[in-house]
C-alpha cells in the first residue's frame, strides 16, 4: 500500500475533477503542496471526502455558497460533491490535501453507518477544526510513517474520524448549507465546463443562475475571490495544458479552449504558466 503523492490534474472538458486512482487497500490519496504568496484554486467538486490542512495562512474557503475565514493552522472537512475553492495568502507555507474514496472504504468501514449510530452523517460533521488541528495532523503524519502497513493505516483513519466526530458532538454546531442555492451554483460550473469551447459572457452565466448580471458579477467575486472571467480563463488554460500534453497544435488548443484570437491565447497562456506553449510541451514530455 503506497500513499499517492501527486498533483491534481484535469480530465479534458467533461469533468474538472482530480484524476486519482484508489483501491480497496489504498482508499485515499495524500498530496503535500508548498505555497507562497497568493494562491487561488479554481472552483471544483469531487466525489471523495476531502480533508484540507492549512499551515499558518490567511484567506478564505468558499464552501457550498458560504465563505469561511482561514487563519493560522486549521483543518477543513469537505463532504463529497460540495463545490469549493480556496483563496490563500502566506509568505511561505504548505497545505496537505487528503481525499477518501468512500466507495473503496466501504469494504472495511462504512462511515455513514458508523456516524448514524450517533445520529450524525458526513454532512453533519464540523467543517472547521482548529483546536483539533495537531491531533489531526499527527494522524496524517502516521499515515505516511506507516505507509504500506494496511492495519496501522486504517487504525489511523479510524482515529482521525473519531477526533472529528468527538469535536462535532461536543459543539453540535454543524454548518448549515443552502442546498438549493448550491445546486444552482453547481449547475453554473457544469454548464461552464461543457461550453468551455464556446464564447461565454457574464450575461450568459448570470442567466444560468437566475441572477441579474450586475449582482451575479459582484456575488461571484465576493465568494470566490476572482471574477467569473478570471475563473473561466483559469479553466481554459488548464484545459489547454491537457490538450498540449495530448499533442494538440497551438491552433487546435486555441479553438477548443474558446479563443478565436490565437495571438491573444498565446499571451494569456504565457501569463498564467510563465512559459510558452512549446516550452510547456517540451517540459511535459521530458518528464515522461
Task: Give the tens place of pLDDT for each residue, 232-272.
Answer: 888 888 888 878 877 888 889 889 988 889 899 899 888 88
pLDDT band at residue 57 under the 50/70/90 scheme:
very high
Angle formed at CA 122 by CA 61 and CA 100, multiple of 5 degrees: 75
Residues 139 and 126: their CA atoms lie apart, in Å, by 18
Mean pLDDT of all residues belonging to the chain: 80
Give residue 181's pLDDT band: very low, low, confident or very high (50, 70, 90). low
Distance from C-alpha of 218 to C-alpha of 227, rounded to nearest angstrom:
8
Give the integer Cα–Cα distance in Å for 281 and 213.
Answer: 38
Domains of the chain and any CATH numbers: 28-171 (2.60.120.10), 179-287 (1.10.10.60)
Q: Write phi, then psi, for 224 (nearest 5 degrees).
A: -115, -20
User: What pLDDT is recorded for position 47?
Assistant: 85
Looking at residue 140, its pLDDT comes to 92
- Interval 73-94 mean pLDDT: 89
**pLDDT the model gives residue 182:** 62
Residues 6 or more apart in contact with residue 94 via CB below 8 angstroms: 32, 33, 34, 35, 55
Q: What are phi and psi of 32, to 5 degrees?
A: -110, 125
Q: Is 200's pLDDT higher than 80?
A: yes
**Which pLDDT score is estimated for 13?**
31
| Planar angle of CA 253, 45, 237, nearest 5 degrees | 20
> pLDDT exceeding 90 applies to what percent of the chain?
20
How is residue 153 written as a grid cell?
A: 493505516
- Residue 49 confidence (pLDDT) above 80: yes
* Phi and psi at residue 33, to the nearest 5°: -135, 130
All residues at 6 or more sequence positions from 88 whose CB lies less than 8 Å from its CB, including other chains: 35, 38, 39, 40, 54, 57, 58, 59, 70, 95
Amino acid at each position: 500500500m503506497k500513499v499517492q503523492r501527486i498533483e491534481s490534474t484535469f480530465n479534458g472538458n467533461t469533468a474538472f475533477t482530480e484524476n486519482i486512482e484508489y483501491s480497496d487497500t489504498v482508499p485515499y490519496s495524500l498530496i503535500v503542496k508548498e505555497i507562497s504568496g497568493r494562491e487561488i484554486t479554481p472552483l471544483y467538486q469531487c466525489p471523495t471526502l476531502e480533508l484540507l490542512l492549512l499551515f499558518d495562512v490567511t484567506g478564505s474557503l468558499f464552501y457550498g455558497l458560504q465563505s469561511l475565514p482561514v487563519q493560522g493552522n486549521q483543518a477543513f472537512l469537505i463532504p463529497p460533491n460540495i463545490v469549493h475553492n480556496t483563496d490563500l495568502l502566506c509568505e511561505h507555507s504548505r497545505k496537505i490535501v487528503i481525499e477518501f474514496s468512500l466507495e473503496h472504504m466501504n469494504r472495511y468501514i462504512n462511515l455513514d453507518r458508523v456516524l448514524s449510530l450517533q445520529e450524525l452523517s458526513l454532512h453533519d460533521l464540523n467543517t472547521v477544526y482548529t483546536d483539533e488541528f495537531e491531533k489531526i495532523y499527527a494522524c496524517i503524519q502516521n499515515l505516511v510513517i506507516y505507509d504500506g502497513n494496511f492495519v496501522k493505516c486504517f487504525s489511523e483513519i479510524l482515529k482521525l474520524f473519531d477526533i472529528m466526530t468527538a469535536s462535532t458532538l461536543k459543539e453540535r454546531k454543524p454548518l448549515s448549507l443552502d442546498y438549493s442555492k448550491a445546486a444552482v451554483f453547481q449547475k453554473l460550473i457544469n454548464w461552464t465546463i461543457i461550453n468551455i469551447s464556446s464564447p461565454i459572457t457574464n450575461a450568459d452565466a448570470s442567466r444560468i443562475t437566475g441572477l441579474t448580471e450586475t449582482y451575479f458579477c459582484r456575488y461571484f467575486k465576493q465568494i470566490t475571490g476572482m471574477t467569473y472571467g478570471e475563473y473561466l480563463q483559469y479553466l481554459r488554460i488548464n484545459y489547454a495544458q491537457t490538450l498540449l500534453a495530448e499533442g494538440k497544435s497551438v491552433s487546435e488548443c486555441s479553438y477548443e479552449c474558446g479563443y478565436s484570437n490565437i495571438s491573444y491565447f498565446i499571451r494569456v497562456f504565457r501569463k498564467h504558466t510563465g512559459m510558452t506553449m512549446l516550452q510547456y510541451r517540451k517540459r511535459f514530455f521530458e518528464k515522461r
